[in-house]
Structure 1
Amino acid sequence: MKTAARGRVGAGRPRTGARVAAVQALFQSEQGVENPEVVIEQFVRHRLGPNEAEESFGEGRVPEADVRLFARLVRAAAGRIEEIDAALAPVLAKDWPLEKLDPVLRALLRAAAAELMTPNDPPMRVVINEYLDVAHGFFAGDEPKFANGVLEALAKRYRGDEFGR
């Protein structure tokens, strides 16, 4: 997995840091088949906030993160995973189902979808831009473009009233 260190995504931006950490936590929860509440607790204790030894994104640490937003995002994505996956399925290419995607990209799409499925807070454009920043932190290839297309399609479905504002 590529690390978020590449552009210091979230540096000085606690809400972006929360989104980076949520993607990491959803990835960890899926890969380790761990309860999301346990993963949230682990992140809050060991991976969020500054560390005297290292205040960077190395080893998955997120030095600045809005902890309440982080926990809310992980809970929302994990708690509505079937609904989120059902919403993602029709916007993915038939030959690239959710299960075939990179697991970090899958976690990112699930976290973003959870936010987009919550009406108007924050605005749809903010959600998409934030997750594109996060995607650029994790991926150097075409994944951010792919994520943009998927998130735009979801936004039209769940936040269509916000287009044209």
Structure 2
Amino acid sequence: MTGASKSERVDRKANRRGAARLAAVQALYQMDIAGTDLNEILAEFESHWLGGEVEGNKYLPADAALFRDIVRGVVAAQRALDPAIDAALAEGWPLKRIEALLRAVLRAGCFELQSRKDIPARVIVSEYVDVANAFVDRDETGMVNAVLDMLARGARADEFGHKEM
């Protein structure tokens, strides 16, 4: 029998989603730091980064539709996402004080928790902790985990065995 097994197909799909999340965070970071336009960033990442090789580094093939959905969604919903993230952060640490890369991780994770009900909340939180782990140290990944977990429990209380508030 030829072809990939069901578990191999699921793993490949999960890896493509993980690569899309990583690329989306990088794109959002670049937009925040360099002020790159949405259409420009989508074109740049889709033509050069997703599944390509940049400066000798091979990038994993990514789920391009998920990548676009996250980047466009964060940009469109940022005015609603930021106050939700601020409310989940420790008092005295507003989102604007958080490093730009972590802001991108939190915004992308918050967006998916609010809009991608087809993906379990725990998967989203775990994926974005992994993305953060690629860039920052353990304390900061712990903060990402805590904030996204709090947002997940608020947005999807039913998945955690609680009634929505």
Q: TM-score, normalised by structure 1?
A: 0.84
- Please tell me whether residue 76 in structure 1 is matched to residue 73 in structure 2: yes
Whether the 8 Å CA contact 2:113–2:155 is kept in 1: the answer is yes
Query: Structure 2: how far apart are the matches of 1:34 and 1:42?
Result: 10
Q: Distance in 2 between the 1:124 and 1:19 partners?
A: 14
Q: 1:162 to 1:32 in 2, by over 3 A?
A: same
Higher relative contact order (Cα pairs below 8 Å, separated by 6+ residues): 1
- Residues 50 and 93 of structure 1: CA distance in aligned 2, closer, same or farther (over 3 Å): same
Q: Kindly report which structure 2 residues correspond to 1:1-165, keeping only aligned pairs within 5 A, or say none.
A: 13-51=15-53, 54-56=56-58, 62-118=59-115, 120-164=117-161
Q: Secondary structure at the match of 2:85?
A: helix
- Count of aligned positions: 150
Taking only aligned residues, the RMSD between alpha carbons, in angstroms, comes to 2.0
The structure number with the bigger radius of gyration is: 2
Determine if contact 1:55/1:63 at 8 Å carries over to the other structure. Answer: no
Unaligned regions of 5+ residues in structure 2, if any? 1-11
Structure 1's unaligned 5+ residue stretches are: 1-9, 57-61
Residue identity matched to 2:131 = V
Superposition misfits of 4+ residues, deviation over 2 angstroms = 50-56
Cα separation, 2, equivalents of 1:29 and 1:136? 21
Identity of aligned residues (%): 38
For residues 38 and 124 of structure 1, the distance between their equivalents in structure 2, rounded to whole angstroms, comes to 30
Answer 1 or 2: which has greater helix percent.
2
Q: CA deviation at 1:119?
A: 5.1
For residue 32 of structure 1, report the CA deviation from its aligned partner.
1.3
How far did residue 123 of structure 1 move?
0.8
TM-score of the superposed pair, with normalisation by structure 2 = 0.84
